[in-house]
Structure 1
Amino acid sequence: MFSLLGQCSTDMSSNSLMDGIEDTKKKLSTSGNACEQRMTYMYPKNLGQRICGCLKLDGSLAQCRQASIGNSNWVQLIYDSHVQTGGKNIGFPKLHHIHWSGKTLSQCDVDVIIYETPSYGAHHFSMSSLNSYEEVRSSFKKPKWVDELHKKQAIIDLDIIILSINCAAAAKTLFERRVVPKSSSVRFSIVFMSIAFTRHMLATFIASLFTLFFIFLQLLHMLFEYGAESWICITSAKVFRNAWVNIQIRCCQILYWPIFLQKNDARSQSCVEYMEKAALYRHSMWATLVVDVLMGNLIGLALLYHAESVCLLVLNFVHDIANMFLRSGCVWLMGVPAGFKLNTELAGVLGMISLNAIQVWSTLWIFGGSIFHYIMKGLAVLGILCGFTIPAALVIDMIAIATLHVSTLHWLISVLYSSQIQALASLWRLFRGQKWNPLRQRLDSFDYTVKQHVVGSLLFTPLLLLLPTTSVFYIFFSIVNTTINLICILIEVTISVIHATPYIKIFLWLVRPRRFPSGIWFEIVCCRSNDNGYAEFDCADEIISPSTTLPQRKDASRETFHSLVSVLHSNYLSIGQVILPHYKYVFSRVPKSFVSTSAYGILTGRRMPSRLGTVLPSPMPWLSMPYKEYWSLCYDSLAGCCSH
Structure 2
Amino acid sequence: MRRQCRIWWPKQLSLTEPSSCSFLFGWFVSCAPNSFDLVVAFACDEAALCRCQSSLKGILSETNGSMSAYLQDKSMFSLLGQCAAYPSGNDQLLKIKTEDDDQRKSCNHGTACAWNMQDMSRERNEQWSCGCYKVNGSLEKHRRTAAESNHWIQMICDSHRIYGRNINWIPKLHHIHWNGKIVSQCDVHVVIYDAPRYGTHHFSVRSWNSSKQVRPLLKKPKWVTELQQKQPLNDLDAVILATNSATASKIIFERRLDSKRFCSKFSLICMYSSRLWSQSCVEYAEKAALHKHSMWSSLVVDILLGNLIGSTLLVHSESVCLCVMNFANDSTNELRSGCVWLMGVPAGFKLNTELAEVLGMISLNAIQIWSTLWIIVGSLSIYLVKGLAIFGILFGITVPAALVIDMIAIVTLHISTLHWMISLVYSQQIQALAALWRLFRGRKWNPLRQRLDSYDYTVKQHIVGSLVFTPLLLLLPTTSVFYIFFTMNNLSIILICILIEVTISVIHATPYIDILLWLVRRRRFPSGIWFEINSCHSKSIHSPNGVCLEKISSKNSLQEDNPSGRSNVLVSILHSNFLSIGEIVLPHYRKVFSGVSRSFVGRSAYGILTGKRIASTLGTKLPSTMPWMSIPYKDYWCLCWKSILACMPECSCHECEYVIH
TM-score (norm. length: structure 1): 0.70
> What residue is the counterpart of 2:146 in the other structure?
71
The question of whether the paired residues in 2 share the 8 Å contact of 1:523 and 1:567 is answered with yes
Deviation at 1:113, TM superposition (A): 1.2
1:307 matched to 2:317? The reply is yes
The question of whether the paired residues in 2 share the 8 Å contact of 1:125 and 1:162 is answered with yes
> What residue is the counterpart of 2:561 in the other structure?
554
> What residue is the counterpart of 1:468 in the other structure?
477
Cα distance in 2 for residues equivalent to 1:37 and 1:93: 12
When structure 1 is superposed on structure 2, of 36-45 and 424-433 the one drifting more is 36-45
Deviation at 1:277, TM superposition (A): 1.9
> What residue is the counterpart of 1:52 in the other structure?
115
> What residue is the counterpart of 2:456 in the other structure?
447
> What residue is the counterpart of 2:414 in the other structure?
405
The question of whether the paired residues in 2 share the 8 Å contact of 1:171 and 1:271 is answered with no
Residues 272-314 of structure 1 show CA distances to partners (whole Å, capped at 9, x for unaligned) of: 1122122223333322222211121111111112211111111
The question of whether the paired residues in 2 share the 8 Å contact of 1:488 and 1:611 is answered with yes
Query: Structure 1: 5+ residue runs without aligned partners?
Result: 9-17, 133-148, 185-261, 637-644
Deviation at 1:336, TM superposition (A): 0.6
> What residue is the counterpart of 1:614 in the other structure?
620
The question of whether the paired residues in 1 share the 8 Å contact of 2:526 and 2:576 is answered with yes
Alpha-carbon RMSD: 4.5
Cα distance in 2 for residues equivalent to 1:109 and 1:618: 48
Deviation at 1:115, TM superposition (A): 0.9
* SS at 1:39 equivalent: strand
> What residue is the counterpart of 2:611 in the other structure?
605
* SS at 1:476 equivalent: helix
Residues 537-581 of structure 1 show CA distances to partners (whole Å, capped at 9, x for unaligned) of: 658999999xx352224343x996531111111111222222222
Residues 314-348 of structure 1 show CA distances to partners (whole Å, capped at 9, x for unaligned) of: 1111111111x201111111111110011111111
Q: Determine which of 332, 344, 367 is the counterpart of 1:322.
A: 332
> What residue is the counterpart of 1:119 in the other structure?
197
1:383 matched to 2:396? The reply is no
> What residue is the counterpart of 1:140 in the other structure?
none
The structure with higher relative contact order (CA 8 Å, sep 6+) is 1
Deviation at 1:527, TM superposition (A): 0.9
Matches of residues 479-490 of structure 1 in structure 2 within 5 Å? 479-490=488-499
* SS at 2:40 equivalent: coil
Q: Determine which of 236, 247, 250 is the counterpart of 1:158.
A: 236
Cα distance in 1 for residues equivalent to 2:250 and 2:488: 66
The question of whether the paired residues in 1 share the 8 Å contact of 2:30 and 2:235 is answered with no
Deviation at 1:103, TM superposition (A): 6.2
Deviation at 1:370, TM superposition (A): 0.8
Deviation at 1:600, TM superposition (A): 0.5
Query: CA 1:526/1:45 → structure 2, altered by over 3 Å: closer, same or farther?
Result: closer
Q: Determine which of 357, 363, 368 is the counterpart of 2:372.
A: 363
1:298 matched to 2:373? The reply is no
Deviation at 1:359, TM superposition (A): 1.1
The question of whether the paired residues in 2 share the 8 Å contact of 1:529 and 1:559 is answered with no
TM-score (norm. length: structure 2): 0.68
Percent of paired sites with the same residue? 57
1:423 matched to 2:424? The reply is no
The question of whether the paired residues in 2 share the 8 Å contact of 1:77 and 1:94 is answered with yes
Query: CA 1:71/1:366 → structure 2, altered by over 3 Å: closer, same or farther?
Result: same
Deviation at 1:433, TM superposition (A): 2.0
> What residue is the counterpart of 2:294 in the other structure?
284
1:269 matched to 2:269? The reply is no
Deviation at 1:390, TM superposition (A): 1.1
Deviation at 1:622, TM superposition (A): 8.3
Deviation at 1:515, TM superposition (A): 1.1
Query: CA 1:121/1:543 → structure 2, altered by over 3 Å: closer, same or farther?
Result: farther
Q: Which amino acid aligns with 2:242?
A: S
Cα distance in 2 for residues equivalent to 1:65 and 1:165: 25
1:350 matched to 2:340? The reply is no
The question of whether the paired residues in 1 share the 8 Å contact of 2:321 and 2:385 is answered with yes
Cα distance in 2 for residues equivalent to 1:461 and 1:373: 54
> What residue is the counterpart of 1:563 in the other structure?
569
> What residue is the counterpart of 1:252 in the other structure?
none
* SS at 1:406 equivalent: helix
> What residue is the counterpart of 2:534 in the other structure?
525
Cα distance in 1 for residues equivalent to 2:144 and 2:544: 33
Query: Structure 2: 5+ residue runs without aligned partners?
Result: 1-6, 46-82, 94-113, 126-132, 211-226, 264-271, 645-661
> What residue is the counterpart of 2:589 in the other structure?
583
> What residue is the counterpart of 2:40 in the other structure?
39
